[in-house]
Amino acid sequence: MNSELRNHIIRLLESGTRLDGRKLTDYRQPIKIEYGVSNTAEGSAKVQIGDTEVIAGVKVEISTPFPDTPEEGGLMVNTELLPLSSPDFESGPPGIEAIELARVVDRAIRESKAVDFKGLCIEKGEKAWFIMIDVISLNSSGNLLDAASLAAIAAVKDMRFPALNDEGKIEYKEKTDKKLGMKAWPLSVTVSKIGSSFIVDPDLDEEKVIDARLTVGSLDDGTLCSMQKGGNSPLAEQDILQMIDIAVEKAKELRKML
């Protein structure tokens, strides 16, 4: 259905350029991170990549640890694709896209082992901190995956624990200086394959014609922590290795923005 568009994009990619004149592995500009956009959240950030905009907020609560991990707190990531942000999004229960987005963001943070879950425990088997990250799309113009991952990490960086009162309940209005101790900053970069070319940060038109995409979460030193493959075409081993290299390098660039 998009064969004309696809042929055109492939022709451009083969000559080393893209629909909007970018290089293959260039992000759209501007990339902006704005911290502390919400007063009610413990940490928040708004991220803009080109026209794509997402907002992320971190809330904390005290709850009973899960029975299999009595000494650990927890992390939950939830995303919502607002109907406001794209004509394709409907209100109602989260669709497959929103769930994938949440899980990819969650996986990168969780599997990086950057969060000290044991440190979140207050009382073994009774009380622990639970961190909830909510990512909401404000404008969907392609590459929500990378924007959401960046926003989630930025919001975590901005987060400060609220104070506890004498009864051990949270006083949300009072913030302490205590941060969530992160050992590293995992960031996801999605590399997409169209024809035989690899690109990052696809816009809406490019997303329509993508053969396959690989979202790679990596740490400051290039350690991989998560991966998610999407799209209908298979990827060869050589493709994957090449995509990882691009993703790790791009993640380093993005990390400078934090």
**What are the residues binding another protein (CB under 8 A)?**
1-5, 7-8, 11-12, 15, 17, 19-21
Integer Cα distance of 153 and 115 in angstroms = 11
Minimum CB separation of residue 88 from another protein in Å reads 15
- Least distance to another protein, CB of residue 199, Å: 14
Q: Of 2 and 64, which has the nearer Cβ to another protein?
A: 2
Query: How far, in Å, are 44, 158, 255 from residue 34 at the CA level?
Result: 9, 10, 14
- When the beta carbons of 10 and 37 are compared against another protein, the nearer one is 10
Q: How far is the CB of 203 from another protein (least distance, A)?
A: 12
| Nearer to another protein (CB atom), residue 8 or residue 255 | 8
- Cα–Cα distance, 133 to 153 (Å, whole number): 9
| Residue placing its CB nearer to another protein in the complex, 12 or 131 | 12
Return the number of the residue (205 or 245) whose C-beta is nearest another protein. Answer: 205
148-161 b/e (C-beta count within 10 Å ≥ 16 → b): bbbbbbbbbbbbbb
Kindly state the smallest distance separating residue 208's Cβ from another protein, in Å. Answer: 10
Other beta carbons less than 10 A from residue 52's beta carbon: 24
- Cα angle for residues 213, 209, 141 (degrees, 5° grid): 80
* Alpha-carbon Rg for the chain in angstroms: 19
Q: How far is the CB of 3 from another protein (least distance, A)?
A: 7
Omega before 67 within 30 of 0, i.e. cis: no
CB of 12 to another protein, least distance (A): 5
Compare residues 20 and 126 and give the one whose CB is closer to another protein: 20
Greatest pairwise CA separation for the chain in angstroms: 67
Transcribe 39-69 into DSSP letters. SSSSEEEEEEETTEEEEEEEEEEEEPPPTT-
